[in-house]
Amino acid sequence: MLKTIGGGVCAAKGFSANGIHCGIRKNRLKRDLTMVFSSERAACAAVYTTNLVQGAPLKVTRAHLADGYAQAVICNSGNANTCNADGIQIAEKMSALAAEALGIRTEDVVVASTGVIGEPLDLTPIAAGIPDLAAGLTADGNVRAAEGIMTTDTIVKEAAVTFDIDGHTCRLGGIAKGSGMIHPNMATMLVFITTDVNISPEMLQKALSSDVRGTFNMVSVDGDTSTNDMVTVLANGLAGNARIEAEGEAFAAFMRALNTVTVALCRMIAGDGEGATRLLECRVSGAPDLATARTVAKSVICSSLLKAAMFGADANWGRVLCAIGYSGAQVDVDRVDVSFESAAGTISVCRAGSGVPFSEELAKAILSEKEIGILVGLNAGDAVATAWGCDLTYDYVKINGDYRT
């Protein structure tokens, strides 16, 4: 049985974490350095941004994970360490300092950074902070770790589950950061997931690469793909299950657990979009194939006009059809149905590609809730897909107008 639990990135056996303020960020109340550690060397899988401009930490992490294993994560916020001449050296030194403090190999460290692009990253506060960061690692340090990777995020993003594999109790949990520059094409922002499941690096990579296509790849806040997006999963095997080497019941159980956590993190990221007041969830059904369903759902979520309408609680369903029409998917628009739903109810606004009479008052009430469902029926098959986004508000411009200064 799969059950939601607390603990985030520390929920699984053998994992500890911590987050501190070391001095990268000016605000002393903001943590800016995070560490996650496994007591045992762990299988590790990762996916990275497809942006051609990539942060130095991603390049270093790729090299470190060439053998499919890692034991720790070191991540700073406040500076992306991207487009810097000495970026690789800084990322490598961060890894070496973390490894020294933990007594492990430098190559077993995942390194990540998030924040402003194009500004040199001073290693001095990081070097000074790592000893205390490592010394403060605890099995209940998940929230501190989650806080240490936040930039414009307004809430801590973490999730965890427990489940069974072959009679063994297993746990999987993670933390994420992401609020702006969110339009991934592989994964999203920074996400660190840990599990005590015993699984080979190859199957762990297969699970993660498969999962992100329907989760993190289906999130958009503003249409901008980050230079530092990365998702990693560490699996240390301490649950004691038979090693997962191929597909089967055990792998399927692991995939369900992974998907439960990643969907939860997706919803948190979308709902906490910069300046957002509403989480938008577009659910497409009746598509001829999965690719069509995903293309349509993502197009609707990415429409700036629709996002603005949702901010104003305006049931401007024509913008939904417009987004479907330019999505590139081959859709018979004369068969499309659209409804809006929330805790306040459900209302049909379009049937067979044409508008139907509806109560503007009820629509306003439905669209005034914090979570809005946009239901699209293509009536052309059995495939379904979901995408997540948020409304577009005045505050988004305010936040990004002076993000650097």
The residue type at 164:
D
375, 207 contact by CB (below 8 A): no
Q: How many CB atoms lie within 10 A of CB 95?
A: 24
166, 244 contact by CB (below 8 A): no
Identify the sign of the CA torsion 102, 105, 106, 110: negative
Give the tokens for residue 364: 């306003």
Q: What is the DSSP letter of 138?
A: B
- Rounded to whole angstroms, how far apart are CA atoms 78 and 26? 9
* Residue-by-residue DSSP string for 23-86: SSSS-TTS--EEEEEEEEEEEEEEEE---SS--HHHHHHHHHGGGSEEEEEEEEEEE---S-TT
**Residues contacting 63, CB < 8 A, separation 6+:** 107
Domains, the chain, ordered by start: 3-271 (3.60.70.12), 279-401 (3.10.20.340)
> ∠ CA(109), CA(113), CA(115), 5° rounding?
170
- Rounded to whole angstroms, how far apart are CA atoms 341 and 325? 22
The pairing of strands 168-177 and 190-195 is: antiparallel
- Rounded to whole angstroms, how far apart are CA atoms 318 and 64? 49
Its pTM stands at 0.90
Enzyme catalytic residues: 188
**Residues contacting 115, CB < 8 A, separation 6+:** 24, 76, 77, 78, 79, 80, 151
- Using CA atoms, how far residue 194 sits from 184, 237, 268, 377, in Å, is 21, 11, 18, 36
Q: What is the DSSP letter of 233?
A: E
Q: Tens place of pLDDT for every residue, the chain, 405 residues? A: 899 999 999 999 999 999 999 999 888 889 999 999 999 999 999 999 878 888 899 999 999 999 999 999 999 999 999 888 899 999 999 999 999 999 999 999 999 999 888 899 999 999 999 999 999 999 999 999 999 999 888 899 999 999 999 999 999 999 999 876 666 664 447 999 999 999 999 999 999 999 999 999 899 877 666 677 899 999 999 999 999 999 999 999 999 999 999 999 999 998 888 888 999 999 999 999 999 999 999 999 999 999 999 999 999 999 999 999 999 999 999 999 999 999 999 999 999 999 999 999 999 999 999 999 999 999 999 999 999 999 999 888 887 787 666
